[in-house]
Structure 1
Amino acid sequence: LWREYPHTTLAASGEAVGLPPGQMGNSEVGHLTIGSGRILFQDLMRVNEAVRDGTLSENPALLGAFERARARGGDVHLLGLVSTGGVHSHIGHLRALLELSRRLGMEERTWIHVFTDGRDVSPTSAVRDLTQLPAERIATVVGRYYAMDRDRRWDRTERALAAIVAGEGQRANDPIGAVQASYDAGLTDEFVEPVVLSGRPRLTRKDTAIFFNFRPDRGRQLSQKLVAAGFDLTTMTSYGEELVVPVAFGEQRVANTLAETLAAAGARQLHVAETEKYAHVTYFFNGGVEQEWEGERRILVPSPRDVPSYDHKPEMSAREVAAGFAAEIGNGYRFAVLNFANPDMVGHTGSIPAVVAAVEVTDECLGVVVGATQAAGGVCLVTADHGNAEQMLEADGVSPHTAHTTNPVPLVLTAAGRTLQPGGTLADLAPTALALLGLRSPGEMTGRNLAESADPKASIR
């Protein structure tokens, strides 16, 4: 495709997607930017600004959580990913909450439940990050593999929950020592088994919990379990309409997204992914809207559940995703969005042989998708929402690189007689797709059409 069709690269990180300069992109931000056709002020930036200008300490939802705990004679428990990655959370936000607890006189009644990262940062960065926190306030340490599952592997979620509310897990006196012991056992940060620190309290129903992840998708399962069990929970952002809890930073309405514009034009649209990326081609792509638009059809292919991590099955469900798309695309759709999860999900494992296999399968399945689209009379915009699999080693050339990157992503247009303009961003994809369909971009879209044609009236009908 790169050899035969017009191609360019797109900025997919930092300010180009509404993040701080130099901040790597991620799937949530990428799909939101692609689907909205504009650069949005992302949740990381919203919380950063609240910390910077002091309004975090005035946030009604956060103050309410502390006051309810105080009124009941309970404690405040801070749950979330302790990481500098800025993908799901940021350690700076946790430190700001600890400072808030100090100002409110709740410092000695505030506890931290640490979820270790190892995917969006170095696999062994937790021992460094934990030095930034008061060790005596840490109640549990749990790898994100357990605490932040999003694929309905409820057994993992239950293990994290049991550590937090029942004190079930490996016992330790020192959080850093517990993580180091995990390394010695061959388990890096992502896979740290639940650890309960001796002498620390568990979460009870007179307490309040604050889940400080700003990205919702990997906070939902544990939050649902906590609320269902009757615990008082506040979340940093909205984790979904079905979770009715106080929210510190409410949703921003994104009007006239690509999906909404297509629906208004009466154009049928198809959204396809396996479980790991299904929320991204639906909820995030549609601007944070859960429900389907008129004329929108969704295909969910289950991700594999019979492996502990995807380096054991690098093909994931890509072939089923491609087959489902190919069987459906000829049924009168004007637009489709499809995500292959493999390069990202397998890239996070740090296994080079597995990533090679994942990319080979993705390439094979991309051929199926492009062929089916062309047979239906359409063209493809082939791109990525962020980098990952293209860099598998750290700068030392030895250590595995498991995080996203700030590299530009490729864009290929499978249409003859057109050129793609350079200097684009993910925000330009929606206006480009609408132009190819002969539809006008709504005024809210600030991106531009990158696909120029020798015939300015040409469109893909």
Structure 2
Amino acid sequence: MVEPLKKHSFIQKRRGPVVLCIMDGVGYGKYETGDAVKAAMTETLDELAASCPKTALKAHGVAVGLPSDDDMGNSEVGHNAIGCGRVFAQGAKLVGKSIDSGRMFEGETWQKLMNNAKDNDGTLHFIGLLSDGNVHSHVDHLKAMIVKAKEGGVKTVRIHALLDGRDVGEMSALDFFDPTEAFLADISDDNFSARIASGGGRMQITMDRYQANWSIVEKGWATHVLGEGELFASAHEAIVSLRERTEAIDQDLPPFVIADEGVPVGTIEDGDSVILFNFRGDRALEITNAFEAGDEFDKFDRIRVPKVEYAGMMEYDGDLHVPAQYLVTPPAIDRTMAEYLVATGVKQYSISETQKFGHVTYFFNGNKTGKFSEELETYVEVPSDVVPFEQRPAMKCADIADKVIETIQGGEYELIKLNFPNGDMVGHTGVFQAVVCSMEAMDLSIGRIKKAVQEAGGVLILSADHGNSDDMLEHNKKGDLVIKENGKPRAKTSHSLNPVPCIIYDADYKGDYSETLVEGLGISSLAATTINLLGYEAPEDYDKSVLQKK
């Protein structure tokens, strides 16, 4: 339990609520060309940026707990940092340290899965995203585990490799699959066999989240477990062939199965061991549930449920303790802003659409599913459209804004936190026009919310968890556009390394803090800033607020 917060020494509580608006994937772009935020007509954001206190916040690398400043930020670590007001070592960093030190391989879970495969003359399967994006996984982690499995006496390894194209280049799959297939061929010998067994685009199979579309997981189950799908002799052949036929980018490539003479090389059977080597939780929970749930599982017909030892790279849900077995202990994120506000009696309202609902609840609360108080917290999920996001670039902005405005006018809640997913979810499609549309739709909704905040005498904080829509075209190290064979610039679908906005619209500004905001901070400072604007002192060990005394 945490102690209630103390009243702030110089900032007065406003008569209206504090509205924390997270513009997911909206940063300050480095390049004019390819910046969909700048290209969009965003009258509200432009007006607020010109007239309100503002600063830029770091949202990548060590500022959000990642190994280095070469690592892009992401929604998980971003919302963790915003929600807890401090920086914890995050998934990629923890896994890397565990592998480098050897602690992972000394652990009970690793030993149990290895022994199971050996004792049953079974196969060790790895399922996960094959790239170096370092947002959900890293290919080097996979390779290190395969080496250790061979050293430990496992005879057969099969990889169920998902194409990325979101956290790395949209058509970069062969940059990871070809070297991996070569690595597997090199490490294999008369006593050890390692191969890619199946695959497909991450937005087509396996990696659904927030139960938005269970058919994605069903296709993954059929592909990885049952070996059902179009057969190819190698992953290289599958990727080249499916690209030519579908013209899809990597994340949308259909599923495929690798086979020898028409027989899949890596179905998952009784006695096998399975490791989901993604370390990020949101897109790992559903496929984990399919493996771990018993007869009560009702999301789809699994046809056949093999008796395996299953483990995740990390614990994906600290409340539900999912999965039951994992290789690396995740950060113990405690004393979050929401918990402090509950202890202080502050009513909170959290809302987003399905695609980012868990970000303002689960991730915001330190990877915990449940509420701190049923009485003081309200969660609202607006169902997302189940279509490619470039076809509905506005997403559910208007619906979210409707509910936020109604809540502001109701006067019941002191803190309202919301996430507009557009800049990230549409940004990942690489379709520039759609991203511009998404920014304009978001801006219209922010304009409506701003008006409601003004009438209520509240405060609107505009910020983001990381960049994306601000950097939609690939540039080389010199800053020049990367041009494809057809003469067009290459689309960029991954997050950017750019800083993000922090704009404060204070409708009843009383001159009780400086209009010059502190510079050089990270997005973890948003927690202390929000607490201050609610009229309270932030906990002493929280990262510094952007607000300062005159």
TM range (shorter): over 0.9
Larger helix fraction of residues:
1
Residue 90 of structure 2 corresponds to residue 42 of structure 1: yes
Q: In the aligned structure 1, how far is the partner of 2:452 from the partner of 2:379?
A: 17
Q: Which residue of 1 aligns with 2:197?
A: 139
Please list every run of 5 or more consecutive structure 2 residues that lacks an aligned counterpart in the other structure.
1-47, 186-193, 294-304, 476-480, 483-488
Q: In the aligned structure 2, how far is the partner of 1:171 from the partner of 1:437?
A: 58
Q: In the aligned structure 2, how far is the partner of 1:377 from the partner of 1:296?
A: 22
Residue 386 of structure 2 corresponds to residue 326 of structure 1: no
- The amino acid of 1:431's aligned partner reads A
Deviation at 1:287, TM superposition (A): 1.1
Q: Which residue of 2 aligns with 1:4?
A: 51
**Measured at CA, do residues 184 and 378 of structure 1 come closer, stay the same or move farther in structure 2, by a change above 3 Å?**
same
Could you say what secondary structure the match of 2:76 adopts?
helix
Higher relative contact order (CA 8 A, sep 6+): 2
Alpha-carbon contact 2:430-2:472 (below 8 Å) kept: yes
Deviation at 1:132, TM superposition (A): 2.8
Alpha-carbon contact 1:256-1:442 (below 8 Å) kept: no
Deviation at 1:178, TM superposition (A): 0.9
- The amino acid of 2:85's aligned partner reads G
Q: Which residue of 1 aligns with 2:229?
A: 169
Deviation at 1:238, TM superposition (A): 1.4
Residue 167 of structure 2 corresponds to residue 120 of structure 1: yes
Q: Which residue of 2 aligns with 1:149?
A: 208
Q: In the aligned structure 2, how far is the partner of 1:6 from the partner of 1:125?
A: 41
Alpha-carbon contact 1:182-1:188 (below 8 Å) kept: no
Deviation at 1:336, TM superposition (A): 1.6
Deviation at 1:243, TM superposition (A): 3.5
Deviation at 1:389, TM superposition (A): 0.2
Q: Which residue of 2 aligns with 1:459?
A: none
Q: Which residue of 2 aligns with 1:236?
A: 313
Q: Which residue of 1 aligns with 2:371?
A: 292
TM-score by length of 2: 0.80
Q: In the aligned structure 1, how far is the partner of 2:148 from the partner of 2:114?
A: 9
Q: Which residue of 2 aligns with 1:457?
A: none
Alpha-carbon contact 1:255-1:444 (below 8 Å) kept: no
Deviation at 1:374, TM superposition (A): 2.8
Please list every run of 5 or more consecutive structure 1 residues that lacks an aligned counterpart in the other structure.
455-461
Greater mean deviation of Cα atoms: 240-249 or 196-205: 240-249
Q: Which residue of 2 aligns with 1:20?
A: 67
Greater mean deviation of Cα atoms: 318-327 or 228-237: 228-237
Q: Which residue of 2 aligns with 1:65?
A: 113
Deviation at 1:79, TM superposition (A): 0.5
- The amino acid of 1:28's aligned partner reads E
Q: Which residue of 2 aligns with 1:304?
A: 385
Residue 248 of structure 2 corresponds to residue 187 of structure 1: yes
Deviation at 1:328, TM superposition (A): 1.4
Deviation at 1:52, TM superposition (A): 1.9
Q: In the aligned structure 1, how far is the partner of 2:433 from the partner of 2:103?
A: 47
Greater mean deviation of Cα atoms: 43-52 or 234-243: 234-243
Could you say what secondary structure the match of 1:324 adopts?
helix
- The amino acid of 1:379's aligned partner reads V
Q: Which residue of 1 aligns with 2:498?
A: 407
- The amino acid of 2:463's aligned partner reads T
Q: Which residue of 1 aligns with 2:538?
A: 441
Greater mean deviation of Cα atoms: 321-330 or 415-424: 415-424
- The amino acid of 1:234's aligned partner reads A
Q: In the aligned structure 1, how far is the partner of 2:407 from the partner of 2:253?
A: 42
Residue 336 of structure 2 corresponds to residue 257 of structure 1: yes
Q: Which residue of 2 aligns with 1:379?
A: 459
Trace 1:76-91 onto structure 2 (pairs within 5 A).
76-91=124-139
Q: Deviations over 1:71-110 (max 9, x none)?
A: 222111011001110011111110111111111121x311
Could you say what secondary structure the match of 2:275 adopts?
strand
Q: How many percent of aligned residue pairs carry the same amino acid?
A: 35
Residue 471 of structure 2 corresponds to residue 391 of structure 1: yes
Alpha-carbon contact 2:207-2:284 (below 8 Å) kept: yes
Q: Which residue of 1 aligns with 2:267?
A: 202
Alpha-carbon contact 2:212-2:384 (below 8 Å) kept: no
Q: In the aligned structure 1, how far is the partner of 2:413 from the partner of 2:522?
A: 26
TM-score by length of 1: 0.94
Q: Kindly name which structure, 1 or 2, has the bigger radius of gyration based on alpha carbons.
A: 2
Q: In the aligned structure 2, how far is the partner of 1:444 from the partner of 1:296?
A: 24
Q: CA RMSD in A?
A: 1.5
- The amino acid of 2:425's aligned partner reads M
Alpha-carbon contact 1:172-1:195 (below 8 Å) kept: yes
Residue 529 of structure 2 corresponds to residue 432 of structure 1: yes
